[in-house]
């Protein structure tokens, strides 16, 4: 897959046609799960593809601003509750989203709000935890380059998207040198360079409420991902966000050249001066 093209193309869709997708597309998605990218392959993960009838069971357990998205299908990722299992689920889930995008299907990440209740309603095995949920299907007709902003059931706004790619973070504001706050000047790189495209793709990554509470530091041959604290994003959502952005970066970089190690989770030995409450989620050797 061309991760750069897919990352800059994908849009979160919260309005789906009721018609199910084709059986062959569901089979293709299931088969892809066996070969999709993983941050930590040793963590046991499974997927369930749920139909429209799951909407009732998911209501009250998941939703965008507690507003459950109605869709013809839902992709549920469950995982053994190991260290970094949510980052791994975010990474896997976004790779599956890239596959859906390649298949010309639309998708939307849905926040999990009550995993204990979901586990009971969906009869998830005791040794597995609900980790990520993605609605998908064919989108209803919307305005060109637009997205839905749902505040509540009675407050739904359509916003136009602008720009040559759908970056939410400006790349020069998102990537610092090894000195916090000092721009690494990524926009000066050639547009077809692996590093430029990888950072643009990472800036296109979806996140909880589109807050994108993370930044990157470029220290010689190492890229660090730093998560910033905010009052709205929970720890679980921050960890999913990290995995999603890491997938965009690594997938794009590795379209150009293979990586020996990929992302290493946790902070490197070197100490960095980052804001109070921030944390280094991982680093990538380039």
- Does residue 278 register a pLDDT over 90? yes
Contacts of 55 (CB under 8 A, 6+ apart): 68, 70, 71
Whether residue 152 lies inside any domain: the answer is no
Whether residue 182 lies inside any domain: the answer is yes
We report the CATH number of the domain holding residue 99 as: 3.40.109.10
Same structural domain, 20 and 133? yes
Same structural domain, 64 and 126? yes
Q: Give the least confident one: 44-58, 96-110, 164-178.
A: 164-178
pTM of the model as a whole: 0.91
CB 243 within 8 A of CB 90: yes
Q: Pick from 137, 163, 184: which residue ends a domain? A: 137
Counted domains in the chain: 2
Whether residue 43 lies inside any domain: the answer is yes
Give the tens place of pLDDT for each residue, 220-266.
Answer: 999 999 999 888 889 999 999 999 999 999 999 999 998 988 999 99
Same structural domain, 102 and 180? no
Same structural domain, 253 and 183? yes
Confidence of residue 142 (pLDDT cuts 50, 70, 90): low
CB atoms < 10 A from the CB of 138, how many?
Answer: 19
Alpha helices in 110-223 (DSSP H): 115-121, 171-174, 194-203
Sign of CA dihedral 167, 173, 174, 175: positive
Same structural domain, 21 and 131? yes
CB atoms < 10 A from the CB of 277, how many?
Answer: 9
Whether residue 234 lies inside any domain: the answer is yes
We report the CATH number of the domain holding residue 195 as: 3.40.109
CB atoms < 10 A from the CB of 268, how many?
Answer: 14
CB 75 within 8 A of CB 133: yes
- Does residue 276 register a pLDDT over 80? yes
Same structural domain, 187 and 234? yes
What is the distance, to the nearest Å, from the Cα of residue 245 to the centroid of all Cα atoms in its chain? 6
Contacts of 271 (CB under 8 A, 6+ apart): none
CB 146 within 8 A of CB 179: no
Whether residue 145 lies inside any domain: the answer is no
Per residue in 152-162, is it b (16+ CB within 10 Å) or e — as a string?
Answer: eeeeeeeeeee
Same structural domain, 105 and 220? no
Which of 245, 236, 279 shows the shortest CA–CA distance to 263?
Answer: 245
Give the tens place of pLDDT for each residue, 79-105.
Answer: 999 999 999 999 999 999 999 999 999
Same structural domain, 176 and 81? no
What's the average model confidence in pLDDT over 180-203?
Answer: 97
Same structural domain, 102 and 218? no
Same structural domain, 33 and 108? yes
- Phi then psi for 280, rounded to 5 degrees? -90, 115
Distance CA 158, CA 150 (A): 9
Instruction: Return the structure tokens found at 16.
Output: 């789906």
Q: Pick from 137, 162, 181: which residue ends a domain? A: 137
Distance CA 282, CA 286 (A): 13
Distance CA 187, CA 197 (A): 10
Q: In terms of DSSP bridges, do strands 222-227 and 106-110 run parallel, antiparallel, or are they unpaired?
A: unpaired
Dihedral of CA atoms 25, 27, 31, 37 in degrees, nearest 10, equals 40
Domain span holding position 178 = 171-285
What's the average model confidence in pLDDT over 36-56?
Answer: 97
pLDDT number for residue 231:
86
Whether residue 274 lies inside any domain: the answer is yes
Same structural domain, 132 and 224? no
Same structural domain, 91 and 38? yes
């Amino acid at each position: 897959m061309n991760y750069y093209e897919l990352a800059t193309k994908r849009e979160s869709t919260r309005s789906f046609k009721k018609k199910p997708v084709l059986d062959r597309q569901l089979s293709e998605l299931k088969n892809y799960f066996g070969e999709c990218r993983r941050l930590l392959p040793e963590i046991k993960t499974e997927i369930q593809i749920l139909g429209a009838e799951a909407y009732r069971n998911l209501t009250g357990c998941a939703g965008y601003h507690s507003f459950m998205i109605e869709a013809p299908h839902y992709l549920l990722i469950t995982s053994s509750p190991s260290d970094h299992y949510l980052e791994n689920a975010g990474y896997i889930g976004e790779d599956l989203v890239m596959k859906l995008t390649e298949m010309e299907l639309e998708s939307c990440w849905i926040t999990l709000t009550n995993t204990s209740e979901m586990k009971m309603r969906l009869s998830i095995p005791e040794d597995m935890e609900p980790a990520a949920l993605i609605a998908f299907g064919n989108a209803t007709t919307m305005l060109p380059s637009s997205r839905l902003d749902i505040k509540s059931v009675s407050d739904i706004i359509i916003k136009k998207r602008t720009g040559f790619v759908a970056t939410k973070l400006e790349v020069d504001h998102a990537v610092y040198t090894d000195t916090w706050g000092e721009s690494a000047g990524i926009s000066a790189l050639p547009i077809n360079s692996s590093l430029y495209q990888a950072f643009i793709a990472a800036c296109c990554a979806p996140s909880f409420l589109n807050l994108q509470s993370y930044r990157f530091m470029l220290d010689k041959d190492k890229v660090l991902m730093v998560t910033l604290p905010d009052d709205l994003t929970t720890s679980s959502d921050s960890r999913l966000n990290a995995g999603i952005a890491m997938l965009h970066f690594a997938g794009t970089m590795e379209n150009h050249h293979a990586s020996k190690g990929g992302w290493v989770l946790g902070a490197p030995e070197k100490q960095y001066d980052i804001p109070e409450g921030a944390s280094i989620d991982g680093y990538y050797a380039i």
